[in-house]
Amino acid sequence: MANLKEIRSRIASVSSTMQITSAMKMVSAAKLKKAQDAITAMRPYSDTLTELLQNLSGSIEDASGSIYATERPLKTVLLVAITSNRGLCGGFNSNIIKEVVSQRDNNYAGKQVDVFTIGKKGNDILSKEFSVTENRGDIFDELTFANVATVADQLMELYDTGTYDRIDLVYNRFKNAATQLVTTEQFLPIVPVSGVTTSSSDYIYEPAQEEIVSTLIPKALKTQLFKALRDSFASEHGARMTAMHKATDNATELRDQLKLTYNKARQAAITNEILEIVGGAEALNG
């Protein structure tokens, strides 16, 4: 009977876990819908602004914002690792950590590589192996353009002052609820479009070319970072919803197996009791 008690305890434990994972799945599904709508609505604006900035790259050299488009000898690199503040989302965070390590060991071997983390989970792991300049996991408490702009300003200042020669964003790009694409995207310096034939004569600048371009560059960079964070935020909820769905299915399967084992053990116990009773009765009759 002790065995039956142990199985009942396991069934209760698995059932409780299944309820938790099912609830987390539904919460993430609700949050995913809002986050997905946000990133879907933002992408056309962000892509158009980035395209415009890159098409103007030939004119940036003469603008006051040219510092953000100037290539420098690559000695120091800052990787902005965007993860989540919470776990239970499958390989969402571990994939970013692996990509950061891969970038350091392969693309930037022999360079000074530091990390700027956005998200508690990434900071907890990467701080053991990298020099983490700062962690801004608080951004996800209120993911607004104004809050993200302060982080973008920090990154632009680090590049402007020459602290880093290149800054890359490493994040999960949202494709759908089940698929997140690990993306490494150059943030600074600005990448001009190769083979673009557009010349400055294609644009009429009002009031002045320098003023427009110098205003456009910071805005485009802030929008680029905001889009990356929106992508990551939607990807996080998609990954968590998928992970919790699988966990719920596994818990359901395990519970059913335990119930089957319990019923077999209970049937065997009852059969043994009947055999003992029959055996005792025959002994008394004999």
Alpha-carbon distance 200 to 101, whole Å? Answer: 40
* Catalytic entry in 39, 69, 82, 89: 89
In the numeric block, which tokens belong to residue 246? 């699988």
Residue 137 is classified by DSSP as: G
Identity at 141, one-letter amino acid code: D
3-state DSSP call for residue 44?
A: helix
Rounding to the nearest 10 degrees, give the CA dihedral for residues 83, 85, 90, 95.
20
For residues 186 and 166, the answer to whether their CB atoms sit within 8 Å is yes
In the numeric block, which tokens belong to residue 84? 């989540």
Phi and psi of 121, rounded to 5°? -65, -45
The C-alpha angle with vertex 162 and arms to 195 and 172, in degrees rounded to 5, equals: 60
Going by C-alpha positions, the residue among 98, 87, 116, 90 that lies closest to residue 228 is: 116
For residues 231 and 174, the answer to whether their CB atoms sit within 8 Å is yes
For residues 44 and 81, the answer to whether their CB atoms sit within 8 Å is no
115 is catalytic: no
Q: What residues act catalytically? A: 89
